[in-house]
Structure 1
Amino acid sequence: MRVVVLGAGNILLGDEGLGVRAIERLPLAYCLPACIELIDAGTCGMEMLEELEDLDALIVVDAIRAQREPGTLIRLVGEQVPVFFRTKLSPHQIGLCDVLATLELLARAPRYTAILGLQPQSLALGLELTPVVEAAMPELLRMIVGELGALGVHPAPREAARVT
């Protein structure tokens, strides 16, 4: 099984960088099996094509604007995934949408795709997550691990790991 957990976002824009921050923290909190590859996609686009082709599963972690309370967990799968790309939160979504569409055209799309994230509070210039999004980060990490578990991949918690 080949699974990629991809953190997307711009770390210079506050909560917009939560996907990247989440995949930085995931291996600090959990021992990840060898079949899981973590990718810091930042704001990448078509250059990700080869890394994402023929995956068993792709889990994208990103800020998701869904008109919910800041810090709310959001999970999109199946038919909900294309909806994520209709309202662009930032320029990187355009690139990722193009990559997934191209992989679909080439019949090399991931067999399963999920987008996990949080409702951002602020996309203002800054390197730190807002306190409300920071407080929800441990829940987001547990959500990622739960998604992996549903795929049959079970990361083990690290002893005394600090997720914050």
Structure 2
Amino acid sequence: MTILHSPIRILGFGSPIMGNDGVGLKVIEILKKEEFKELEGLDIEDAGVCGLDLLNLLDGARKVIIVDAILAGSPAGSVHRIEGRDLLKNAEFLPLISVHDLTITDVLMIGEQVQTLPEIVVIGIEIGSRATEITREISPDVFKGVDKAIRLIRKEVSSSL
């Protein structure tokens, strides 16, 4: 995993071989091809399914935008913007379930105890159901959320640079 130095970081999470779970990585792939690749002060990184390694990727940042597949009970392709502080404050009540074994909320709760956390925004794309088959394909319904997620990320970045 790359060491990141920029104050603003966009991190995509997911598994590229678990279908819809890879939607966060698809967003990162598109962002790396677009105008963001030239911006100074911004890192765009495929974080895979890094778990506790996320804490290293937060270190030294001012703002981190996390893009991931979520299960929140909304229609597939829906996009949710969630403040990291809201995840920590409402960890028991927020209807957000990561599709990974260790949720982003779990990692942030640990991170809060061991380091100073930057501003964190999660852009979650609803996948509708847990990925169970090995495939690189993202369903059309879930893929519809990619453009909206990118628009939200552009807004976050423009307000932070």
- What is the aligned counterpart of 1:57 among 59, 63, 88? 63
- What is the aligned counterpart of 2:33 among 28, 40, 51? 28
**Aligned residue in 2 for 1:90:** 100
User: What displacement does 1:28 show?
Assistant: 1.3
Structure 2: unaligned runs, 5 residues or longer = 1-5
Q: 1:9 to 1:85 in 2, by over 3 A?
A: farther
Q: 1:49 to 1:77 in 2, by over 3 A?
A: closer
What is the RMSD computed on CA atoms of the aligned residues?
Answer: 2.2
User: What displacement does 1:49 show?
Assistant: 2.9
Q: How far apart, in 2, do the equivalents of 1:69 and 1:85 lie?
A: 14
Partner-residue secondary structure (3-state), 1:100: helix
Matched, 1:136 2:158: no
Give matches, 1:10-159, under 5 Å.
10-32=15-37, 33-82=39-88, 83=91, 87-93=97-103, 96-110=104-118, 112-122=119-129, 123-125=131-133, 126-151=135-160, 153=161
Partner-residue secondary structure (3-state), 1:124: coil
User: What displacement does 1:70 show?
Assistant: 0.8
Structure 1: unaligned runs, 5 residues or longer = 154-164
**Aligned residue in 2 for 1:4:** 9
* Counterpart residue type for residue 105 of structure 1: Q
User: What displacement does 1:44 show?
Assistant: 0.8
Q: Percent identity?
A: 26
Contact 2:71 2:128 in 1 (8 A): no
- Give the number of aligned pairs: 149
Q: 1:78 to 1:117 in 2, by over 3 A?
A: closer
Contact 2:70 2:97 in 1 (8 A): no
Q: 1:127 to 1:70 in 2, by over 3 A?
A: same
4+ runs deviating over 3 angstroms: 82-88, 96-99
Q: How far apart, in 1, do the equivalents of 2:22 and 2:102 lie?
A: 11
